Amino acid sequence: MRMVFLGAPGVGKGTQAELAALKFGVPKISTGDLLRAAVVQGTSLGREAKEYMDRGDLVPDQVVIGLVEEKVGAPECTKGFILDGFPRTVPQADRLSELLMAKGQSLDKVVCFLIPREEVVQRLGGRRGCSRCSAVYHVEFVPPKNDGVCDECGKELVQRDDDREETVRSRLSVYEEQTAPLIEYYREKNLLSELNGSGPVDTVQKRLVALLSGP
| Least distance CB 11 / ligand AP5 (angstroms) | 4
> By beta-carbon distance, which residue lies closest to ligand AP5?
32
Separation CA 26–CA 4 (nearest Å):
12
Residues that bind ligand AP5 (rule: CB under 6 A) add up to a total of: 36
- How does strand 28-30 pair with strand 81-84? parallel
Contact between 207 and ligand AP5 by CB under 6 A: the answer reads no
Separation CA 23–CA 102 (nearest Å):
28
Separation CA 70–CA 72 (nearest Å):
6
Among 85, 111, 182, 207, binds ligand AP5 (CB under 6 A): 85
Smaller CB distance to ligand AP5: residue 69 or 104?
A: 69
**Catalytic positions, written as ranges:** 13, 88, 127, 160, 171
- Cα-based angle 94, 169, 148 (whole degrees, multiple of 5): 100
- Which of the stretches 20-28, 82-90, 145-153, 185-193 binds ligand AP5 when contact is defined by CB under 6 A? 82-90
**Secondary structure class of 67 (helix, strand, coil):** helix
With 0-12 CB in 10 A as exposed, 13-18 as middle and 19+ as buried, what is 58?
buried
Binding site for ligand AP5 (CB under 6 A): 7, 9-15, 31-32, 35, 52-53, 56-59, 64, 85-86, 88, 92, 123, 126-127, 136-138, 141-142, 162, 171, 199-201, 204
